[in-house]
Every structure is written in structure tokens, then in C-alpha cells.
């Protein structure tokens, strides 16, 4: 699922700082692959800001390399980006241990055509990215390279600095780990969009009955405020409690509020703004047409890419 999709994956850019510090050919070659590098880094890290920083670091290394001696620029750049992302992920996972409240991946604006590709959409789903957080950094990188981009095991082994046999074993373990922990959510885009529209109308109108009609009985609300915005410190379970929490939240709209339906992580999502600033992002995950999981991000540090 790799060819032709990476540039559409991330609406932000890491190229603004790539200026005339290197030759034109060096810059052009890097730009050819930057979309893929961002796509790999985001899936490994779960944060657009970190992904852009990693790609910028990869550019600095590329700009200092003797690129004329690099036989395969893409392989070189993906290897560099992946190893930088693994290093950053290790420190990020240590930070997660002291994170205030639940941790969710940073929401990412994606183009609508990405949402129409079921396999591609799944690879950037917040639900999958959350499961990937339970893998080790090496396992996560191997899973992303194999499952999202289809790299052969020999290339993966070279990228992560392992033998091919070890790469295969790591991939099998990571795949089994993910399958055992993930929920199979509905993938039909029309169904998800219709449910998101009904959810938004009911929540905005404070209609508990209509809201509960969209929610599965065992629905879970996970809110990520990171200690920087008001948010429950634990997940909320059950249709009635989740509906009341959402209705309470809807009654506390920010100044100059606006609500927008957008494509987040290759699926329908909701962004609430205060003036031009995004203050909340919501993604819904459905099972049998009902909302089974609500991911709500209000941590302002995770919403800057939605501005």
C-alpha cells in the first residue's frame, strides 16, 4: 500500500526549513521521498510534530552526506528516518509513564482519498496507533515497515539493524500482539460519516436520548488533555455516563466556537475551534453501526497541526 500515498498522509510539512544549504539535486532528491519519510515517522511515533522533527533531522544528515555515493537514496533515507524515530520513540515512551491521564495519538488531518483506501486508512487509525503503543520501538518500526509499506524482510532487517531471521520473528510477534489487542471496528466510510453527523447533531443539541441512540451500550470515552486542558483522568464507560459527559462538554463551548467535520486519521472526525485555534478533536470508532469508542483530544500541544 506504499506507492503514491505518502504525500497525502500528512497535511503538515517538514520542508519549510529545507533551504539552500545543499545543492539543488540534493534537495530535489530529498523532496521526492519526504512524503514517505513523514508517513513512516508518524506511524512509528504517533505525533506529527515528532515526525516532522525526525524528518528534519534526516534532512540534515542527508545534506551532509556524499549523496553521489548513495546507491539507493530512498533506502538510505528510510533507514535514517526509521532509526531516528526509534530513538525518539524510546524517550517518548519514558515520558508517557508520567503523562497526566490517558494518552492518545496526535490527530492528523488526512486527505479524503486516503480514507477511501481501507487498508491505508487502518494504518493511520488512532485505534491502531494506540495498540502500537504497546509494542517495543523495534517491534513497532518493523510492524509499520512490513504491514503499512510492504517492505521485504531483507530491507527491514537492514533498516533496523537486525538479521533477516530476527526481522521475520519480530514481525510475527508484533502482528500477533496487535491482532490480540485490537478491536475490529467498522470500516465503511458512509456508515462512519453518517454516525459522526448524527453524533454531532445530538451532542450539539444536548439531546441525551438521540446521543444514546448512536452509542453502543458498552461505549468507552477516552479523553486526552495531558494535564493542560480539562479532561477526565480515566476512561468513562457505558452509554448513559458517556452521553452525560459529552452533553456536559458540549455545554462548555469555548469563546468564538466553530465546529467542523473533517477527515482525521483517514476517517470522519470533528474539530472544535475557538476562533482559528483548534481546541478539541474527536474521532469515533464504530462496531455494527454504533459508536463503540470515542477518542477526544484536548491537549493543546497535540492540536497545533490542526490550526
pLDDT score, position 9: 47
Q: Cα–Cα distance between 140 and 39 in angstroms, integer?
A: 14
CATH number assigned to the domain with residue range 6-181, chosen from the 4 options 1.20.140.160, 1.10.275.10, 3.40.30.10, 3.40.50.10260: 1.20.140.160
Q: For position 115, what pLDDT does the model report?
A: 66
**Given this model, what pLDDT does residue 3 score?**
42
Tens-digit pLDDT profile for the chain (307 aa)? 444 444 444 444 444 455 445 578 899 999 999 999 999 999 999 999 899 999 999 999 999 998 888 999 999 999 999 999 999 999 887 777 788 999 999 999 988 777 667 777 788 999 999 999 999 999 999 999 999 999 999 999 999 999 999 999 999 999 999 999 999 999 999 999 999 999 999 998 888 999 999 999 999 999 999 999 989 999 999 999 999 999 888 888 888 899 999 999 999 999 999 999 999 999 999 999 999 999 999 999 999 999 7
Q: What span, in angstroms and rounded, lies between the C-alpha atoms of 29 and 15?
A: 13
Give Cα separations from 198 to 120, 246, 283 (angstroms): 25, 14, 13
**Confidence at residue 11, expressed as pLDDT on a 0 to 100 scale:** 41
- Residue 219 is predicted with a pLDDT of 98
pLDDT of the residue at 25? 85
- In the three-class reduction of DSSP (H, G, I as helix; E, B as strand; rest coil), residue 160 is classed as helix
Residues 213, 32: Cα–Cα separation, whole Å: 47
Exposed e or buried b for every residue in 186-218, given b needs 16+ CB within 10 A?
beebeebeebbeebbebbbeeebeebbebbbee
Report the alpha-carbon distance of residue 295 to residue 273 in Å, rounded: 17
Q: Which three cell numbers stand for residue 139?
A: 517491534
Which pLDDT belongs to residue 1? 40
CB within 8 A of 216, min separation 6: which ones? 239, 287, 288, 290, 291, 292
Confidence (pLDDT) at 53: 96
> For the CA atoms of the chain, what is the radius of gyration?
20
3-state secondary structure 4-62: CCHHHHCCCCCCCCCCCCCCHHHHHHHHHHHHHHHHHHHHHHCCHHHHHHHHHHHHHHH
User: Domain boundaries in the chain?
Assistant: 6-181, 189-306
Under CATH, which number does the domain 189-306 receive? 3.10.450.50
CA distances from 42 to 49, 78, 270 (A): 9, 13, 20
Residues β-bridged to residue 268: 263
Euclidean distance between CA atoms 5 and 17, whole angstroms: 23
Residues 119 and 95 sit within 8 Å (Cβ to Cβ): no
pTM of the model: 0.87
Identify the three-state secondary structure at position 228: coil
Shortest CA distance to 85 belongs to which of 52, 44, 124? 44
Q: Three cell numbers at 167?
A: 526481522
Amino acid at each position: 500500500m506504499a506507492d503514491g500515498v505518502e504525500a497525502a498522509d500528512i497535511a503538515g510539512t517538514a520542508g519549510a526549513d529545507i533551504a539552500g544549504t545543499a545543492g539543488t539535486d540534493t534537495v530535489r532528491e530529498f523532496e521526492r521521498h519526504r512524503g514517505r519519510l513523514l508517513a513512516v515517522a508518524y506511524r512509528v511515533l504517533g505525533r506529527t510534530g515528532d515526525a516532522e522533527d525526525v524528518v528534519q533531522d534526516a534532512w540534515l544528515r542527508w545534506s551532509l552526506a556524499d549523496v553521489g555515493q548513495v546507491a539507493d537514496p530512498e533506502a538510505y533515507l528510510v533507514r535514517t528516518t526509521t532509526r531516528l524515530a526509534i530513538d525518539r520513540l524510546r524517550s517518548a515512551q519514558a515520558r508517557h509513564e508520567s503523562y497526566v491521564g490517558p494518552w492518545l495519538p496526535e490527530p492528523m488531518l488526512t486527505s479524503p482519498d486516503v480514507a477511501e483506501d481501507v487498508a491505508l486508512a487502518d494504518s493511520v487509525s488512532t485505534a491502531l496507533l494506540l495498540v502500537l503503543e504497546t509494542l517495543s520501538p523495534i517491534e513497532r518500526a518493523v510492524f509499520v515497515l512490513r504491514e503499512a509499506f510492504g517492505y521485504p524482510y531483507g530491507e527491514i532487517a537492514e533498516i533496523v539493524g537486525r538479521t533477516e531471521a530476527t526481522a521475520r520473528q519480530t514481525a510475527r510477534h508484533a502482528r500477533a500482539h496487535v491482532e490480540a489487542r485490537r478491536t475490529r471496528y467498522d470500516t465503511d466510510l458512509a456508515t462512519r460519516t453518517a454516525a459522526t453527523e448524527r453524533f454531532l447533531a445530538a451532542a450539539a443539541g444536548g439531546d441525551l436520548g438521540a446521543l444514546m441512540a448512536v452509542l453502543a451500550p458498552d461505549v468507552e470515552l477516552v479523553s486526552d488533555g495531558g494535564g493542560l486542558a480539562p479532561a477526565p483522568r480515566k476512561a468513562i464507560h457505558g452509554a448513559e455516563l458517556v452521553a452525560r459527559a459529552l452533553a456536559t462538554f458540549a455545554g462548555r463551548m469555548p469563546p468564538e466556537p466553530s465546529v467542523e467535520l473533517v477527515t482525521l486519521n483517514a476517517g470522519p472526525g470533528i474539530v472544535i475551534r475557538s476562533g482559528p485555534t483548534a481546541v478539541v478533536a474527536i474521532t469515533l470508532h464504530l462496531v455494527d453501526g454504533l459508536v463503540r469508542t470515542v477518542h477526544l483530544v484536548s491537549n493543546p500541544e497535540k492540536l497545533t497541526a490542526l490550526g
